[in-house]
Structure 1
Amino acid sequence: MTNTKNLFASDAVFVTDQTKQDLVLKEVYDNLLERGYVKGNFLSHIVEREHNFPTGLDTSTLGKSIPNIAIPHTEGEFVNTRLIVPVSLENPVVFHNMINPSQALEVKFLFMLLDNDPDGQAELLAAVMNFLADTPANELREVFNFTDPHAIYSFLEQKFAKKKED
């Protein structure tokens, strides 16, 4: 499975009611593995990396009442494609802050980065950061609270496609 053109796949957008970080990552992993997007050893590596190098992001600087997010990822050797995997969390899940790892953050949305190119992850991370910087606060608030995978996919596809055109 290679995805070079689009950053999102309609079958790789998830909504979960899990309440613990490891269970969220396991549920998403199971779905990604079934679809061939990741390799069998992906889960242990993404969990270990998240524990050692947290990816939670405090979004309070982006606007009032915007839910915190996390951007979990691991090395490209454990994935089969290039993709941003959005995950809406029905319940807040604790992730630690990437800037201040001792700070626990309640997170409501994930952008999981998959990139089988060892140098490509920085590009995907930049795309997510640009999206955060360029999207009005009311739209971020809205999409981070969506609970319909199709609505999430449509919104993000449109926003990222528009960004590519600019």
Structure 2
Amino acid sequence: NDRSVGIEIANMGAYEDPAELDQWYTRASDNRVVFNPPLSDGATGLRTTPFTATPARPEVVQGRIHDRDLNQYDLTDAQYASLIRLTATLCRVLPRIRAEGPRDGAGAIRRDVLSDAELAAFRGIVGHYHLTEEKIDPGPALDWDRLIAGVRRLD
């Protein structure tokens, strides 16, 4: 379409029951949370080796999206670094995309669907959950302030 660019971020997602995350994450002997998918052959498909996928924040992030209380682990620092560089590049080559997310009256990133009029007027970065109640990604763990500040630093 002529309105958006989609970015897919690999993450196990957000769940209402935080115990769902236990099948994907374990706590290492040094107390770090580590992504540990339950794969029968042990092959994660990770192309960066050696690499241990560790959420940027060690605790489960809780947040409310579309009237649902959700739990999610954060992206990795490497994912944030890549996402920031990619988003900064998109903002540079597609100047209608500003380094900003949709905010509420208190200045926090909104966690609801934008109306058609709001979406038509907005020129920035949105998540799927800003477009439809059927989606909850990127979830409550995405650190929008980190993303936006990082993009602005590269701008």
More strand by share: 1
Structure whose CA Rg is larger: 2
Normalised by the length of structure 2, the TM-score is 0.33
- Greater share of helix: 1
Higher relative contact order (CA 8 A, sep 6+): 1
